[in-house]
Amino acid sequence: MNWWQNMVSFNPPFFSIVIPIYNVEDYLCDSLKSVLVQSFSNFEVLMINDGSKDNSVNICKQFAEKDVRFQLIEQENRGLSGARNTGIRHAKGQFIAFLDGDDLWHKDKLKAHYYLHQLNPTISMSYSQSKLINMDNKPLNLQQTPKINNITISDLYCRNPVGNGSSAVIKTVVLKKIGFYCQNHHADMQFFDESLTQSEDIECWMRLSTITNLKIKGLAFPLTIYRINVQGLSSDYKKQLLNWLKMNTKVRNYNPNLIKQYRHKALAYQLRYISRWAIIKNKKKESICYIFKAIRVYPKIVIEEPTRTIVTLGSSILLVILPKIIFSRIFTLAQQTLGRYLQSQSH
C-alpha cells in the first residue's frame, strides 16, 4: 500500500470528488484517468452510477479495485442532481469538487484550488476557466474566461461565471448548510434541486449565496476541459429555457429582490445563449426569434456586450440567407477568431 493509500485510510481527504455517471462509457475512462494523475493526491473519488445501462459500472469497478481512493456508489436513475446529491451526502473531504463523467481536468486542477483556498481561507467556493473540446476529444479553440474576482449573486444569476458542472469546488460544511428535504422525490436530503433537470447548478449557487453569504473566487487558468455535446442535455434549448424559467420561480421564493432587479437582464443573456444553440442546431427562424427577443427584453445588452450580441444577431441572419456549407465555414471562423469574447461567460 502506497503512502497516500495509508493516508486516505486514516485521515479524511482534503477533496471529495463527486462524479455523476450515466451511460458515458466512451469517455469515462479518460475522465477518471484525469483524476488519477492529479498532482495533488489527497482526495477521495465518489463515482455515483446513476442507473447506467452501458459498461460504465465495470470501468468504475476497475478503478476502485486498483485504488482505494475510488469508491463506486450505485443507485437507480435520479438524474444529474440526484447523483450529485448522493455524492455530497457521502463526502468526507473538507472540499467537494464536481466532475462530470465525460469531462476532463488538467493535472494541476486540484493543486491550484488547494493553494487558492489555503491562501484565501474566507473563500468558500472557487472555479476555473475551461477549455472546450468536442465529442472526438478535438479542441474547439474556444475557452471560457469568465470574471474571476468580486463575484456577486447577480453575476451568478445573469452570467454563471462558474460555466459548467466540472469546474466548481465548494467547502463541504458550507454546501451542507443549504440541504433540504422534498418528499415528492425521496426521503434523502437534497442540495441540488432534483425537480430541475437544467439550471440546477445556477439555482444551487444562488441559494448558497443567499443563505450563506458565499464568497467566491475564480482561477485564471483553463483547468477544466469541458466537452460540448450537440446532442446532449444542454443542446435541448427549449427545455433549457423552460427549466431556467422554473428556476426563476424557485429563486423568487427566497430572494425576490434579486429577481425583481435583474430578471430582464438575466433573461436577455439566457435568450441570446438559446439563440446560439438554435444556430448550432440550424433552426433558422428560432435563432432570429430568440436574439431579437433578447434585445427587446433588455436593449442594453447591445451596449454592454456588443461583440457577442452582434455576432449572434449577424449569425442568425446569415443562417437564413446563406447556403448551409458557406454559413458553417463563416460561423466556425467567427468562433475561432472571436472566441475570447464569445466564450467569456457561459451565456
Residues 73, 173: contact at Cβ < 8 Å? no
82 is in which domain, residue-wise?
Answer: 3-236
pLDDT at site 185: 72
Average pLDDT of span 161-174: 97
pLDDT at site 97: 98
The reply to whether 224 and 261 lie within a common domain is: no
Average pLDDT of span 236-247: 91
Q: What are phi and psi of 219, to 5 degrees?
A: -105, 130
pLDDT at site 339: 54
Q: Compute the distance between CA of residue 79 and CA of residue 20 in angstroms, rounded to an integer.
A: 9
Give the confidence band of 334 by pLDDT, cuts at 50, 70, 90: low
**3-state DSSP helix/strand/coil % of the chain, to nearest 5:** 50, 15, 30
Q: What is the tally of structural domains in the chain?
A: 2
The reply to whether 57 and 187 lie within a common domain is: yes
* 84 pLDDT more than 70: yes
Residues 151, 161: contact at Cβ < 8 Å? yes
Three-state SS annotation for 235-275? HCHHHHHHHHHHHHHHHHHHCHHHHHHHHHHHHHHHHHHHH
The reply to whether 61 and 105 lie within a common domain is: yes
- Is residue 206 a part of any domain in this protein? yes
DSSP SS3 for 145: coil
- Is residue 278 a part of any domain in this protein? yes
Residue ending a domain, among 204, 236, 268, is 236
The reply to whether 211 and 302 lie within a common domain is: no
The reply to whether 187 and 305 lie within a common domain is: no
* 42 pLDDT more than 90: yes
Give the CA distances from residue 9 to residues 19, 42, 95, 218, in Å, rounded to whole numbers and listed in that order: 21, 11, 18, 31
Least confident of 59-68, 164-173, 301-310: 301-310
* 332 pLDDT more than 80: no
The reply to whether 274 and 204 lie within a common domain is: no
pLDDT at site 323: 74
Average pLDDT of span 150-177: 96
pLDDT at site 325: 74
Give the count of alpha carbons within 13 A of 197, CB side only.
Answer: 14
The reply to whether 201 and 332 lie within a common domain is: no
The reply to whether 189 and 289 lie within a common domain is: no
Pairwise pLDDT comparison (85 vs 235), residue with the higher score: 85
Give the confidence band of 8 by pLDDT, cuts at 50, 70, 90: very low
Give the count of alpha carbons within 13 A of 19, CB side only.
Answer: 32
Q: Compute the distance between CA of residue 49 and CA of residue 272 in angstroms, rounded to an integer.
A: 34
Give the confidence band of 193 by pLDDT, cuts at 50, 70, 90: very high
**pTM for this entry:** 0.90
pLDDT in tens, 219-240: 999 999 999 876 654 557 888 8
Q: Characterize 81-94 residue by residue with b for buried, 16 or more Cβ atoms within 10 angstroms of its Cβ, and e for exposed.
A: bbbbbbbbbebebb
The reply to whether 261 and 232 lie within a common domain is: no
- Is residue 58 a part of any domain in this protein? yes
Which helix (H) or strand (E) segment holds residue 202: the answer is helix 200-212
DSSP SS3 for 169: strand
Enter the DSSP assignment of 125. E
Residue ending a domain, among 208, 236, 264, is 236
The reply to whether 176 and 50 lie within a common domain is: yes
Cβ within 8 Å of residue 283, ≥6 positions away: none
The reply to whether 287 and 337 lie within a common domain is: yes
Least confident of 92-106, 192-206, 219-233, 243-257: 219-233
- Is residue 249 a part of any domain in this protein? no
The reply to whether 154 and 287 lie within a common domain is: no
Angular region, 160: left φ>0, alpha ψ -120 to 50, beta rest? left
- Is residue 26 a part of any domain in this protein? yes
DSSP SS3 for 74: strand
Q: Compute the distance between CA of residue 180 and CA of residue 73 in angstroms, rounded to an integer.
A: 21
Residue ending a domain, among 186, 205, 236, is 236
Residues 129, 145: contact at Cβ < 8 Å? yes
- Is residue 182 a part of any domain in this protein? yes
pLDDT at site 338: 59
Which helix (H) or strand (E) segment holds residue 105: the answer is strand 104-105
- Is residue 243 a part of any domain in this protein? no
State the residue for C-alpha cell 462509457.
25
Residues 61, 88: contact at Cβ < 8 Å? no
Give the confidence band of 273 by pLDDT, cuts at 50, 70, 90: very high
- Is residue 248 a part of any domain in this protein? no
